[in-house]
Structure 1
Amino acid sequence: MTTDFLGLTSDPIAAVQAAHRASIHLSTTRGVLRSQAVYAMAEALKQAQNDILEANTLDLEASREMAVPDLILEWLKLTPERLQTAVQLLKRLSELPDPIGRVMDAAYQIDHCQIYSQLMPLGVIAMIYEAFPELAAVAAGLCIKTGNSLVLKGSGEASHSNAAIAQALWSAIEKVGLPDGCLQAIASDHSTLVRDLIVQDQYLNLIIPYGRPSLVQQIVRQATAPVLKSAMGNCYLYWSPSGGLEAVRWMILDSHQSEPDPVNAIEKVLIHPSQNPSSLLMLWDSLREKGFELRGDAVLSAEFPDLRLAEEGEWRQAYLAKIIAFKLVASLEDAIAWINLNSSGHADCLVTESYQESRQFALGINSASTYINASPRFSRNPKRGDSIFLGMSNQKGHRRGPISLETLTTVKHIIQGTGQF
């Protein structure tokens, strides 16, 4: 096995500059060629599976010796199934329609001109990610498909895995003949490299941080280039008095099935004081049987001693684990206000039988997505539609909600005159 990667560098400035030069040429390549490159990535990843898993074993052994948290170890650990999922995702991505050049009607017109708009690549995208080695392949597929250059900066815990995956991806890009430098990987050693990277706003068009909230917040604070915040966990569910117990139970359990990255996992549940205590006990017993740790606010933990008291700061924090905290709220209006103040703002839920409540919740919640009597479980490869998702964005600005192909594009307005003055 070898982890020598032709594009691996410890110089983030040189990497971004090379990616910028490549992006100029990549943006004009035919969609067919970019799709071929994405398919070639899938094949290269499949052929390199043994090398990648061997490299991942080295990372896991080193991380255990350094007492890396169990959460990161879970994110770091690759399996043949996780790699196969990435391969399948890339193959499906290669078959999707080319988003670049898609023409749309303009919202305005000028005399003696025809105005239209079309999707264009952003240019250079940097992804800074914590563990999750296979995400490099997903990000590379999305970026190449949309004609963007990509700069990867993984965490030190996954250094061998990242290098092995990057080697496979680079070999596919070289084989197809895409511009040199369109995929860059930065060595995973020092945090100073991250700081040097995220201030290259002259060349970078977008930064995507992926990992714990602390990583995302650090990038947002320090970056001078645009940042697309991604979010995990701390999603809320309000259990209306009219909502059914089984629906609540199913939504909670199903939302936690998107591991190893619990993007839309429900971690907080708001309940009305009129909720039947026997229903609460049935839900809690069921969740404990599934390995969940349960917590409650001051009122609930006093009434039910088995509930550990949730500290004040926990209501705004993601657990990123099988932990659920329960809190009493007096009304739907209070639930909406609490969620808007404390949730991570990317996916919040309601269980109700009332249409009026569902409309009030959908319009009142200030989050990217609202789920009503539906599981918020996250999937990168939905069974229906023409979308592949990297993650979920909770910010208002560039794009909000699922990070997809269109998220990595921008709009150009084209005004074609007739020559009349």
Structure 2
Amino acid sequence: MTTDSAFNSVPDAKAVVDRAYEASVVLAKTKGDDRARALEAMADALREASDDILEANTLDLEASREMAVPELILEWLKLTPERIGSTIAILEKLAQLPDPLRQVMNATYQVGRSQSYSQLMPLGTIALVYEAFPDFGAIAAGLCVKTGNTLILRGGTEASHSNAAIAQALQRGIEQSNLPLGTIELFPPDVGVSTRDLIRQDKYINLVIPYGRPSLVQQVVRQATAPVLKSAMGNCYLYWSPTGSMDLARATIVDSHASEPDPVNAIEKVLVNAKAKPSSLSLLWNSLKEKGFTLKGDRELADQFPELEAVEDDAEWNRAYLTKTVAFKTVEDLDAAIAWIDQHSSGHADCIVTESYQESCQFAVGIHSASIYINTSPRFHRAPPQGDAVFLGMSNQKGHRRGSIGLETLTTTKHVIQGWGEF
């Protein structure tokens, strides 16, 4: 049975995608004020449903523990009043932001004697495939409504009750604000159609965003026929230059792991110069252990410093731990560090600690990652304390949708050429 026929054989599944697609046509024409009011209604609905959401989350946590779900997923799954409150605040913040759609921008080129301009427009229908993180679906819904896109949520079985409770609350807010039915749809994991079938509906779905462990992201990338926006998490690198402050290196590592609940930009690998003083390394490692970090090292460092666990194999330098684990490796110089990072990091956020302006410039030019951090923490904020931005996550793919996933990421450009009958 082909993917399309497998999908169409489940009436409820086909209805979900049909409603979302039809709603996207209507939603794209709505006014910014109407979408802002919908976001406020969604925030209010989440606030009113907070007790029900927490009760549903308790059921998910109990079931997951019985099924021996990894502790990492349990941590991502667990909701608190504070996490729900942060999600509500993000929706309210989005409601206050200017409408990102249909703003007139200069065109990159002109056509003959005509006048040209560009506008940001919605993508259409977006599918979010995610594991745990039930509040993540609500944040994605907020970003999609703000940008005039419809959203299909496909969460994992471990969060089925939580996702349902959140989706129902969001849908009540949508209904109260008179946006089209289908603006937010939930695709339960037990609906009878696989994720693979959903992400191959490229006729109706304009973008798929996978979010979770790297294995989930890679699976979606391999199977989807609809366009995919790769998200990345963990396995960020730091190069600690001999000129850099040890205190700053330590503070940068610690702060990068402070993003909750998901360590999006956590520094998990540190390259140290072969000239680094053993006393400085020991001081750094002792201070990190006091903060609860597990420390690993390459064979050379592990043999020299018994407090380090040996990295098991070369593939480990490519993998995200997604825990408070940091592995250290020696390199000869900055050139070697840049070459290693470009080959092994996740490619979305890499750092350097240095007091050399020349080194910082060389690092910024040589590293191919989406974001470069010089003498500062890459810690990720969904709603940064400064500014008006709201971010869903980080993308490590090359192309125009790279780096922080925000409002503009979920839009596309329309080029309008106005003529007067002259050629």
TM-score (norm. length: structure 2):
0.96
Q: Can you list the C-alpha shifts for 1:265-291, whole angstroms capped at 9, x where unaligned?
A: 000000001111111111100111111
* Residue 65 (str. 1) matches residue 94 (str. 2): no
Structure 2 counterpart of 1:171, one-letter code: R
* Residue 347 (str. 1) matches residue 336 (str. 2): no
CA distance 1:330–1:120, shift in 2 (3 Å): same
* Residue 91 (str. 1) matches residue 109 (str. 2): no
State the distance in 1 between where 2:395 and 2:65 align.
31
* Higher deviation after alignment, 101-110 or 9-18: 9-18
The alignment partner of 1:258 has SS state of coil
Q: Is the 8 A contact 2:147 2:411 kept in 1?
A: yes
Structure 1 counterpart of 2:163, one-letter code: N
Listed as ranges, the matches of 1:214-293 within 5 Å are: 214-293=215-294
Q: How many residues matched?
A: 413
* Residue 203 (str. 1) matches residue 204 (str. 2): yes
Aligned to 2:315: 313
Q: Is the 8 A contact 1:13 1:196 kept in 2?
A: no
For residue 191 of structure 1, report the CA deviation from its aligned partner: 8.8
State the distance in 1 between where 2:197 and 2:111 align.
44
The alignment partner of 2:376 has SS state of coil
State the distance in 1 between where 2:421 and 2:350 align.
53
Q: Can you list the C-alpha shifts for 1:135-194, whole angstroms capped at 9, x where unaligned?
A: 111000000000001000001000000000001000000000001111110112379520
Aligned match for 1:361, one of 355, 360, 363: 363
State the distance in 2 between where 1:321 and 1:359 align.
31
State the distance in 1 between where 2:164 and 2:140 align.
15
Structure 2 counterpart of 1:57, one-letter code: T
State the distance in 2 between where 1:11 and 1:199 align.
17
Gaps of at least 5 residues in structure 1 are 1-8
Q: Can you list the C-alpha shifts for 1:280-321, whole angstroms capped at 9, x where unaligned?
A: 111100111111110000100011122111022110000000
Aligned to 2:107: 106
For residue 260 of structure 1, report the CA deviation from its aligned partner: 1.2
Q: Is the 8 A contact 2:103 2:119 kept in 1?
A: yes
State the distance in 2 between where 1:318 and 1:175 align.
42
State the distance in 1 between where 2:151 and 2:360 align.
40
Q: Is the 8 A contact 2:234 2:346 kept in 1?
A: yes
The alignment partner of 1:90 has SS state of helix
For residue 398 of structure 1, report the CA deviation from its aligned partner: 4.3
State the distance in 2 between where 1:144 and 1:39 align.
11
The alignment partner of 2:271 has SS state of strand
Structure 2 counterpart of 1:374, one-letter code: T
State the distance in 1 between where 2:191 and 2:22 align.
25
Aligned to 2:4: none
Q: Is the 8 A contact 2:13 2:191 kept in 1?
A: no
TM-score (norm. length: structure 1):
0.96
The alignment partner of 2:181 has SS state of coil
CA distance 1:124–1:398, shift in 2 (3 Å): farther
Aligned match for 2:397, one of 395, 398, 411: 395
The alignment partner of 1:326 has SS state of strand
The alignment partner of 2:194 has SS state of helix
The alignment partner of 1:224 has SS state of coil
Structure 2 counterpart of 1:339, one-letter code: I
Structure 1 counterpart of 2:378, one-letter code: P
Structure 2 counterpart of 1:239, one-letter code: W
Gaps of at least 5 residues in structure 2 are 1-9
* Residue 334 (str. 1) matches residue 336 (str. 2): yes
Structure 1 counterpart of 2:234, one-letter code: G
* Residue 418 (str. 1) matches residue 386 (str. 2): no
* Higher deviation after alignment, 76-85 or 273-282: 273-282
The alignment partner of 1:257 has SS state of coil
| Percent identity for Structure 1 against Structure 2 | 64
State the distance in 2 between where 1:14 and 1:243 align.
58
Q: Is the 8 A contact 1:155 1:189 kept in 2?
A: no
Q: Is the 8 A contact 1:205 1:225 kept in 2?
A: yes
The alignment partner of 1:327 has SS state of strand
Structure 2 counterpart of 1:258, one-letter code: S
Aligned to 2:6: none
Give the RMSD, CA atoms, in angstroms. 1.2
* Higher deviation after alignment, 402-411 or 103-112: 103-112
* Residue 179 (str. 1) matches residue 180 (str. 2): yes
